[in-house]
Chains A and B, each alone.
Chain A
Amino acid sequence: MLWHVRSMGPSILQRMHNGGQKVVRKLISEVNHSWPYASDIPLPPMDNLLINKAGSIGRKTYSSGQVRALGLGSQICLDNRRFSSTAEPASLATPALAALRERLASEGPNLTDFLGQTGSDGYSVSVGSKKDPKPKPEWIKKVIPGGEKYNAIKAQLRQLNLHTVCEEAKCPNIGECWSGGETGTATATIMILGDTCTRGCRFCAVKTSRAPPPPDPDEPLNVSEAIAAWGLDYVVLTSVDRDDLLDQGSNHFAETIKRLKLKKPQMLVEALVPDFRGDQQCVERVATSGLDVFAHNIETVEDLQTFVRDHRANFKQSIDVLKMAKLIAPPGTLTKTSIMLGCGETSLQVIKTMEKVREAGVDVMTFGQYMRPSKRHMPVSEYVTPGAFEEYRKLGLEMGFRYVASGPLVRSSYKAGEYYIKSMIEADRENAKNLAKQIR
């Protein structure tokens, strides 16, 4: 039988964000005009699918494995030919349709193209180009966000006039984190100092302007209220770059952290900060505000810094910020950094960069796959395999990092809490063991 999947256009995705299953079904019935059934008919299970290579009515055809991996279950609708035993009605078999089917049969991707992508033995998988498009590898696909918790968080954020990097930078994990994922505790990474950055890095989807609007003076209060309401043990706070402000936003940032800690002293706070153009005063303000983890991302290997990041950012400046923070922050504060793979770097460059980062005393490092937010941004060089990410993780631990999070969909604040707590506990147990040995 034939599965029709509506190709995802931006307007459809927008609507997805605001709805859930109901909207999806409504959309499917609207869009697929050959679907004669009511929109609340239960969709059949995915498992008993057969693949029909014949073309579709202007929509893509996917195999059952693809359907499962893509998480497109709720968007699949059946071709009504499945239910009719007679020949298809004449109204459906237009000449245009027949021509399209022919073209797809001769030119379109077939099953082996999709199967080829599942091979994850090598270091990476190639991206393909406009003239030779290739499907994305399986491991990089996520479910479209939606659901009760997701909508609740969204409503609350809008009400308090807060922004999240999850939305602004188009994070693929938004559906998982906002709906609670495995742990059931929904989390979001709030972005302060507005939703517009003064820098234009090639990988980032956040809006850019030379003169963004001034920061909201109520923001520190609103942030602490929202986060307190979520009942989290661990929260990550981040911001845009504000090169236009005198203090580069460091006072506002420090104020927000202080308020958070006042409201919930037991909660662990990780701050993903800008480089403040290397200004020691700014770094000090934030590092001494009471946070538990000081994070600043170097984004890519040393050799590609000028190519990937804004011209105001560079490797030495970022490493110096991390070193400064380690010295200035109260003992027990961890430092953390993150890089994206797939920007065009070699693994040798990655390893050299890891060594330099370790020398700077950074405790935690995360590795993620760069994904292109839009056509206006840097193209992806390659999709690094999960196996290669795992190798980097092992290497990082060997080098002496206290924790390494590494995977295609890992982001700086993705699942940061459990790991921090876990590694702290492990370290504490280590210390206790050593103390016990000494006593003996």
Chain B
Amino acid sequence: MQHIWGKGVLLHSSNLQTLFRIKRQMRKKRWITVTFVDKDGDEKIIKVPIGMSMLEAAHKNDVELEGACEGSLACSTCHVIVMDDDYYEKLPEPIDEENDMLDLAFGLTETSRLGCQVIAKPELDGIRLALPAATRNFAVDGHVPKPH
């Protein structure tokens, strides 16, 4: 058994095994799985790195989520609905500014949040987020304005 000093730890086989196990565990926690469900019920499962906001992740994966103010809490266009109550509990309380903007969101529910304020963390692995049933722009949802 060779005695190797590495980073202040004596590197022999059992220590090495521990190090690899820790490394493996840490690797698991770098991503979480998030499911976006659109108004038609179509699901999209994406991998979100820890620390990224849901809005950013949606844009990177071509999910139809608007973000007019780029996450500066000046609009309510990134409104998402957390589908499971237990995941909603795991999220930190929204700050006042977020609540103010949420009040203006269309189709507000008890478990609504702004996508730019939901930051990925390991506890949120498997979270399901629903995109609101209608946008504030009704014409986009199939209604065609009739010319008078």
Contact = CB atoms under 8 A, between A and B. Distances in A.
Contacts of A202: 66, 68, 75, 77
A210 B72 contact: yes
Contacts of A346: 145-148
A46 to B, nearest CB: 34
Nearest to B143: A344
A199 B73 CA distance: 9
Interface in A143-202: 198-202
Interface in A326-372: 343-348, 351
A201 B68 CA distance: 6
Interface in A298-350: 304, 306-308, 310-311, 343-348
A137 B124 CA distance: 43
B64 interface: yes
Nearest to A241: B74
A200 B137 contact: no
A11 to B, nearest CB: 16
Contacts of B68: 200-202, 204, 208, 376-378
A282 B48 CA distance: 45
B22 interface: no
A209 interface: yes
Given A307-B136, A381-B140, A382-B139, A200 B70 contact: yes
A375 interface: yes
A308 B64 CA distance: 17
Contacts, number: 87
Contacts of B72: 200, 208-210
**Interface of A: prevailing SS:** loop
Given A130-B64, A346-B148, A348-B148, A378 B137 contact: yes
Interface residues of A, number: 35
Contacts of B9: none
Given A126-B144, A348-B148, A379 B137 contact: yes
A343 B70 contact: no
Contacts of A204: 68
A348 B145 CA distance: 10
Interface of B: 59, 62, 64, 66-70, 72-77, 101, 104, 135-140, 144-148
Q: Which 6 A-B pairs have the closest CB atoms?
A: A200-B69, A344-B139, A200-B74, A381-B139, A200-B75, A307-B136
Given A378-B77, A382-B145, 4 more contacts: A202-B77, A343-B137, A344-B137, A376-B68
